[in-house]
Amino acid sequence: MNRYFSCALAVLLIAVSTGVSAHQKVVDEEQVFAYANAVASGNRTAVRTVFSLNTDGASAEAQDIVLGKLIKVNPKMFLEELQRSQFAGCKLCMPGLLGNLGYDYVDHPAAQLRELRARKAALLTVHNKPLLQLRNKCIAALEQQIKFFTNALGASNSSVR
Same domain for 40 and 101, yes or no, is no
pLDDT, position 133: 94
User: Rounded to two decimals, what is the model's pTM?
Assistant: 0.80
**Least confident range of 2-16, 59-73, 141-155:** 2-16
Same domain for 114 and 158, yes or no, is yes
Which is nearest to 101 in space by CA: 86, 120, 124, 87?
120
* pLDDT bracket for residue 89 (50, 70, 90): low
Mean pLDDT of the chain: 84
Which residues constitute the domain of residue 12? 1-68
pLDDT, position 4: 39
Same domain for 100 and 159, yes or no, is yes
13-52 pLDDT, tens digit each: 445 444 555 455 789 999 999 999 999 999 999 999 999 9
User: Is 49:35 a contact under the CB 8 Å cutoff?
Assistant: yes
In the chain, the percentage of residues whose pLDDT exceeds 90 is: 65
Question: 2 or 46: which carries more pLDDT confidence?
Answer: 46
Same domain for 89 and 160, yes or no, is yes
Domain-embedded: residue 73: no
Domain-embedded: residue 56: yes
In the chain, the percentage of residues whose pLDDT exceeds 70 is: 78
Domain-embedded: residue 101: yes
Q: Mark which of 68, 95, 122 sits at the end of a domain.
A: 68
Same domain for 59 and 131, yes or no, is no
The pLDDT of 108-134, averaged and rounded, is: 96
Which is nearest to 67 in space by CA: 84, 104, 103, 42?
42
Domain count, the chain: 2
Same domain for 145 and 117, yes or no, is yes
The pLDDT of 60-84, averaged and rounded, is: 95
Question: How open is the CA angle 121-33-112, to the nearest 5 degrees?
Answer: 35
Same domain for 157 and 94, yes or no, is yes
* pLDDT bracket for residue 157 (50, 70, 90): low
pLDDT, position 93: 75
Same domain for 62 and 132, yes or no, is no
pLDDT, position 88: 66
Q: Give the single-character DSSP code of 150.
A: H
Q: How many Å apart are CA 70 and CA 15, to the nearest integer? A: 19
pLDDT, position 161: 39
Which is nearest to 71 in space by CA: 82, 55, 60?
82
Q: For residue 70, which amino acid is it?
A: L
* pLDDT bracket for residue 58 (50, 70, 90): confident
